[in-house]
Structure 1
């Protein structure tokens, strides 16, 4: 759920900090007080398009920050891990700053992210629904995914099996299409591959050869320094008046002392060990000096070979291993292209088998979806009946039924569009074509009631979705929004007193003038204040004792409904 929201220097908002609770939170207030501005701020926090116009006049930047508390199984965890974002103790902080020059800075748990990543994460957290906004449920391309979510584990498993075969189908289809290129393209491709293969073969590369060459080049390039250092070291150990003679002299005297007094035995042994160790070292140095020979031609050979290998790396891979792997790959491709007719026949036989398997899995998946669609229709009709649309007919329509052949796609063989008829005798039409504001509000609420249990969205925001309804329909909408709030946190901007009465938390949004500037403020209402606000919503500008009594009655009805 959205726990805390902070908005600073945004439009007419100076600074607002608010904590939200579970259940249904309503925001009410006079028109123009800034209710929709808060939704605009949340929309930007979820990755919406920003503009310098949102920055409060005279300020350098607008700041929006939200703290979300996530359940352990929330889909945001997997989505965040894809982008390297860590979530600790189920807490996620989204922050967005918009400067006066229009630039945006986005952060998730302190990590800088792009707007697209913010949008990806935000889509799992908040669903903002306004009456005139193109929402997910109105997007026909999303209907199939929503039906699959409603269908649950059975459809998920069937879809996974289908996609596994579909992946092989796509790969095989690409291989066939690549082999069916025209003769000129095939000839050009073969020429290129043969040239590349010969280029790699002529180089006769060995694994780790470049590393060995770098080591040898370093030795030859520093020959003089190495020789002088070894010579000086040897002279220091074995030369005239060298260190080894002095140590041997000391060792002899310590040996005499140790024979007379055992306490010097340890010193003698340490000196003797050092003496014999230095003898071995001097022998190694002498051998190294004797074997050292500077060969300028060899250094040129190494430089030339390194250059050759680097040229191959630029063309075929960053390492010798990658170059050799690429060589093996093009050898295989040349073999395929040379015998392409036989290879095409072989792949087409394989494709026939894949299509049969794909058709079986696709039809089974489609069968499960149709069963799920029937159940969904039953649930939707029940919800619509409670919203006084008992004559409405809802039906997920499978476009496949109108086709003569199977069309294999990533998500199966189906195309699904939600259709609805709101009046008896009227034909079913796509949900996206519904025009009446009041009907649209109720249809969307019915769908939200069902899908909110399956989508895993943390918070659902309704921005004046109750426009165009009144009376018993308004009460039904209030109850429906309250039911949705049982499964997801709901924030609702409303002008309906029935919806406000059903709230678990009620905020009043108002604006005032201070130091010649207009600013928006948010106030949480206690019981008496809530009665007054609902009475104002009922009566408009003038409140009477009768409207207050009506407000109390609405609150009592709401309390009874929520308790049952």
Structure 2
């Protein structure tokens, strides 16, 4: 959920900090008080296009910061892994956006500088904003297949994973076939380059871990004098008359003579004897190491030259010798493919046909699962629309398959165009008036109807989308009476699965709120600014009363407001 929002020098907002709670938060206030400006600020955190017009007049920059708390396994964790942003076990995400009066935009996620595109990725995972003037995912036909798949996720997930594995493999095979079959001149040039690289690497006679071994040997040769002197001094300190071993031998003999008189001394004598022989063996090893040490300047020159050669090759073919050896194997295979192009093309054709047939089978399986899910979705949506007094509306999920080319896999003798989600193209269709044909959602319905359709869809999908905060900006415009009450109940229903922030002019929606915030405009030192106030229960009744009359409070309107609040509380208790 969006826990806290801080805004500074944004439009007419001087500085404001709002702490949000779970459930349904309704923001109300007079037109022009700054309600939509707060939503504009949140949109900046979700990656919307910035503008110098957002920077408060006379200031250098506008700053927006939002703190979100998330549950474990939230999709935003995947975004963090993808873009290298540490989310942490505490489950907090801070989105920051600064817009300067020069038009520059600075974005951060958990303190890390990111591009606007990356900020948008995080924002889309945390915030879903819907207004009368925007087309969100529910109204976007390109997103409908994603929403249907979310609805059917439990049944679809494994099959979709299997299909994508086949689809990716098929795409790779087709790409390789195209590279081999097109442009003879490019293939000839590619072959010349690969053969040159192969010869260069073969002539280098690489061996595994060669660079590491040579580096170690160079280190010894470059520090020969220090090595020899250290070993020599250590050996001389141990071996010889009146040296370390001589004194240890004397100590060993002394303890042996006393060992028969005390058990503890006997144990110490045994330890001394063991230590003596260990150190004696160590002195022999030091002597052998000295005799093996040899300074060879020619060998050092050879190693330096070889390491320089390996460094030059690494810049072209890989960071390690092992990487370069793997590269040799890859280009050897590619050289063979190009030289024996016809046989490889024939082999690729067979693989493409076989993989295509398997992919089509999985795509058909996906289609069947989606069809079954679509029937259930249609029933659920129609029930929701009925509650919103669109009982005569018709809803359907349209399926279509794009015809493919001659090289695409076939179904029932016809080639089909596969994509990353299968073969289906999905669109949500609706008709709000009896006798009217079904049309795509974004092409039909009035503003008031569109709000109700959107709420019905949102009510179904909110629990599947994983979005932390759902924001409605005056989506209830153009409705009143019983429809207004139904919309209020739907918005509250959505808030039970996701935090909902709602700007509204409907008293029915305000009465349903768990938290009611009033946005006001004030003038201080001849400058207009916006202030935010969380209302108490008594203030809430007064505010709803003003929303009903649009004028001064009267006893009647106050009683009406209290009645709305009472009805809202009863609905919440029974929900």
Confirm or deny a common fold (TM above 0.5): yes
Q: 1:56 and 1:147 mapped to 2: Cα distance?
A: 42
- Give the alignment's Cα RMSD to 1 decimal: 3.5
Worse overlay, 316-325 or 426-435 = 426-435
> Using a 3 Å threshold, how does the CA distance of structure 1 residues 189 and 555 change in structure 2: closer, same or farther?
same
> Using a 3 Å threshold, how does the CA distance of structure 1 residues 224 and 129 change in structure 2: closer, same or farther?
same
- Name 2:557's counterpart in structure 1: 547
- Name 2:408's counterpart in structure 1: none
Q: Does 1:509 align with 2:510?
A: no
> Using a 3 Å threshold, how does the CA distance of structure 1 residues 214 and 392 change in structure 2: closer, same or farther?
same
> Deviation per CA, 1:244-277, whole angstroms, max 9, x where unpaired?
5677997899899999999999999999999999
- Name 1:21's counterpart in structure 2: 21
Q: 2:559 and 2:252 mapped to 1: Cα distance?
A: 115
Q: 1:276 and 1:59 mapped to 2: Cα distance?
A: 82
Q: Does 1:484 align with 2:494?
A: yes
- Name 1:326's counterpart in structure 2: 327
What's the secondary structure of 2:415's corresponding residue?
A: coil
Where structure 1 has 5 or more consecutive residues not aligned to the other structure, the ranges are none
- Name 2:76's counterpart in structure 1: 76
- Name 2:47's counterpart in structure 1: 47
Where structure 2 has 5 or more consecutive residues not aligned to the other structure, the ranges are 405-413
TM-score, normalising length: structure 1 = 0.87
Alignment of 1:445-460 (within 5 A): 445-460=455-470
Q: 1:555 and 1:255 mapped to 2: Cα distance?
A: 97
- Name 1:168's counterpart in structure 2: 169
Find the partner of 1:535 among 523, 527, 545.
Answer: 545
Q: 1:45 and 1:408 mapped to 2: Cα distance?
A: 35
Q: 1:556 and 1:282 mapped to 2: Cα distance?
A: 95
> Deviation per CA, 1:62-91, whole angstroms, max 9, x where unpaired?
443333333344333343344342333444
Shift of 1:414: 0.6
Q: 1:274 and 1:34 mapped to 2: Cα distance?
A: 85
Q: 2:496 and 2:280 mapped to 1: Cα distance?
A: 86
> Using a 3 Å threshold, how does the CA distance of structure 1 residues 45 and 244 change in structure 2: closer, same or farther?
farther
Q: 1:179 and 1:258 mapped to 2: Cα distance?
A: 84
Asked whether the 8 Å contact 1:87–1:109 carries over to 2, the reply is no
Q: 1:190 and 1:423 mapped to 2: Cα distance?
A: 66
> Using a 3 Å threshold, how does the CA distance of structure 1 residues 298 and 513 change in structure 2: closer, same or farther?
same
Alignment of 1:199-278 (within 5 A): 199-222=200-223
Asked whether the 8 Å contact 2:237–2:243 carries over to 1, the reply is no
- Name 1:155's counterpart in structure 2: 156
Q: 2:176 and 2:321 mapped to 1: Cα distance?
A: 28
- Name 1:194's counterpart in structure 2: 195
- Name 1:397's counterpart in structure 2: 398
What's the secondary structure of 1:123's corresponding residue?
A: helix
Shift of 1:554: 2.5
TM-score, normalising length: structure 2 = 0.85
Asked whether the 8 Å contact 2:64–2:96 carries over to 1, the reply is yes
Asked whether the 8 Å contact 2:75–2:466 carries over to 1, the reply is yes
- Name 1:64's counterpart in structure 2: 64
Asked whether the 8 Å contact 1:244–1:278 carries over to 2, the reply is no
Shift of 1:179: 2.3
Q: 1:466 and 1:248 mapped to 2: Cα distance?
A: 96
- Name 2:426's counterpart in structure 1: 416
Find the partner of 1:563 among 547, 555, 573.
Answer: 573
- Name 1:444's counterpart in structure 2: 454
Asked whether the 8 Å contact 1:247–1:271 carries over to 2, the reply is no
Asked whether the 8 Å contact 1:393–1:421 carries over to 2, the reply is yes
> Deviation per CA, 1:433-480, whole angstroms, max 9, x where unpaired?
236222221111111111112212222110011112223322222222
